[in-house]
Amino acid sequence: MLKIEDINVYYGNIQALKGVSLSINEGEIVTLIGANGAGKSTMLKTVSGLLKPKQGKILYEGQSIGGKAAQSIVKMGISHVPEGRRVFANMSVEENLQLGAYLRKDKAGIKQDMEKVYELFPRLLERLKQQSGTLSGGEQQMLAMGRALMAKPRLLLLDEPSMGLAPLLVKQIFHIIEEINKTGTTILLVEQNANLALSIADRAYVVETGRIVLSGKSEELTTSEEIKKAYLGGH
C-alpha cells in the first residue's frame, strides 16, 4: 500500500532522514520505534505532505506522492494525527469532527462516519458542544483521532498517541487503535512506548539518527536482546 524508497529529508541544512526505505501492506499495523529525535515524526510528516523529500520515492497504492500538497494526500486516503493532538481549541467537539470531513461531499456517509466515531469514542458524544480546548488530554487525543477518521482514510498515520496520558487511558487508546485497524484501516504508528507499540503491531522498524537499523515482525523484535536493552527496559 505504501512504499518508501531511499528518501532523504532535510530541515534546513540538517539531514533528518538518510536513505530510508520501508513498506506497509494493506491491513497492517506497522510501528516505528526509536529514541526521541531519531526521525520518526519526520517520516510521518513526509508521507502526509508536510515535508518534501530532497530525493527518493514515496508510492501510495502505486502512485507517487512525494512532494504532493498535503490536501491532495488527504484526498487520496491518508490521514495524519500529529504529535501533541492539535485540536482547534476554540471550536466545539462537533465542529472539529466536521472539519475532518471537509473534503467530502457524501452527506449520508459523513453522518454514518460521525456515528462510528461516537461508537469508538462515547466520551466525545457526551462532550459534543464543549469547546475542545477545555477537554482533558485523553479526550483531545480521542478527538484528534476521531477527526482524522472523518476523512475516511485507508491509511492512518498516528504520531505518539499515548504521549502525556495516564496508563489507563493509554490502554484504552491502544484498544481503539486495534478496533480501527479491524475495520480495514491500515496504520503507521509512531510511539515512544515500544512495548505497547510492538504488542499491537504486525511489523516494526527501528529508527536511529535518521536511518532504519532494524526491521522485522513484532514478536521477533520483542524477543531480540538488542531491542530489549535499548527500548524495552529489559536486560
Q: Verify that 45 and 157 share a domain, yes or no.
A: yes
pLDDT at residue 98 above 90?
yes
User: Is there a single domain that holds both residue 134 and residue 157?
Assistant: no
pLDDT digits (tens, 9 = 90+) for 122-145: 999 999 999 999 999 889 999 999
The last residue of a domain, from among 103, 136, 152 = 152
**Domain identity same for 163 and 72:** yes
Same domain, yes or no, for 93 and 138?
yes
For residues 160 and 227, state if they share a domain: yes
Kindly indicate the confidence band of residue 234, based on its pLDDT and cuts at 50, 70 and 90: low
Query: CA-CA distance, 127 to 219, in Å (whole number)?
Result: 38
**Both 180 and 166 in a single domain?**
yes
Neighbours of 147 (CB within 10 A): 26
> Is residue 83 a part of any domain in this protein?
no
Cell 510521518 locates to 44
The answer to the question of residue 82 being in a domain is: no
**How many domains, in total, are found in the chain?**
2
> Is residue 108 in a domain?
yes
Indicate the angle between helix axes 93-100 and 107-120, nearest 10 degrees: 130
Asked if 130 and 161 sit in the same domain, the reply is no
pLDDT of residue 85: 72
* Order of strands, sheet of 14-24, starting from the edge strand that comes earlier in the sequence: 14-24, 2-11, 55-60, 63-64
| 166-222 confidence digits (pLDDT tens) | 888 899 999 999 999 999 999 999 998 899 999 999 999 999 999 999 999 999 998
| 42-83 pLDDT per residue, tens | 999 999 999 999 999 999 999 999 989 999 999 999 999 988
**What's the pLDDT at 235?**
46
Range of the domain at 194: 2-77+153-231
Give the DSSP letter string of 145-210: HHHHHTT--SEEEEE-TTTT--HHHHHHHHHHHHHHHHTT-EEEEE-S-HHHHHHH-SEEEEEETT
